[in-house]
Structures are given as C-alpha cells and as structure tokens.
Amino acid sequence: MQVENTNKSHVHAELIKQWADGAEIQAWDSTAVDWYDSCTPLWSVSQKYRVKPRVNIKNIEVYAIMRYNELFISNKNVLNECTLMNIKYNFDTGKILDIK
C-alpha cells in the first residue's frame, strides 16, 4: 500500500494560527459586499477570511443634539436641528489627549 504525501498546508493555515493566538477573524460576505466578524470561522477553502483590521482613531468629531428632552450623540451631523455642541476629541492609543 502506497501512502500519498500530503504536506500541503491548509489554504488558511496562517490565519488559523493567528486565530488560535487570539486574533479576531472576519469573513467576506459577497451578498452584502462587506466583511463581518466571524467568532467561529468554518475555514472553508472557498471562503475569504482576514484578520480584523485595528482601527486607530486619532481624531473624531462628535455631535450632540438635544431634542424632546433627549440627548442624541452621533459621529456625523445627521440631525440638522438644534445642534448644541460640536466636540472634537484627540485620541492617542485609546486615551483622550484633548477635547475642543
């Protein structure tokens, strides 16, 4: 009996190793045309996967709007009425350095 040598690594071997080491994995959704978080990836050879990119936020503008005695906060000025304040935070490695 002859045994075939199958030393080929899995197509996602490197990502599987990173996932085992704690990396967050995302899978591609071709219907939604977007990446989504995959807590338990199936590692299908026909599926696209990636390590979830880290978002490094340095500056963000926050809009706070008071309407009907409720405070709404958004990262975009989508509510065009009664803007109470426009706050700009300066972040560095998750710490607020400055607020204007």
Taking residues 41-45, what's their average pLDDT? 95
| pLDDT reading at 82 higher than 70 | no
Rounded Cα gap, residues 14 and 7, in angstroms: 15
pLDDT top residue among 4 and 52: 52
Percentage of residues of the chain with pLDDT beyond 70 = 48
Asked whether the predicted pLDDT for residue 47 surpasses 90, the reply is: yes
pLDDT of residue 10: 93
Residue owning tokens 């809009």? 63
Q: Give the pLDDT of residue 50.
A: 96
The yes-or-no verdict on residue 66 having pLDDT over 50 is yes
Neighbours of 49 (CB within 10 A): 20
| Mean pLDDT on 64-70 | 62
Helix (H) or strand (E) holding 17: helix 13-20
Is residue 50 classed exposed, middle or buried when 0-12, 13-18 and 19+ CB atoms within 10 A define those classes? middle
d(CA 98, CA 100): 7
Task: Identify the pLDDT of residue 45.
Answer: 93
Q: Please tell me whether the overall predicted TM-score, pTM, comes out greater than 0.75 for this model.
A: no
Q: According to the model, what pLDDT value does residue 8 have?
A: 86
Place of tokens 């045994």: 3
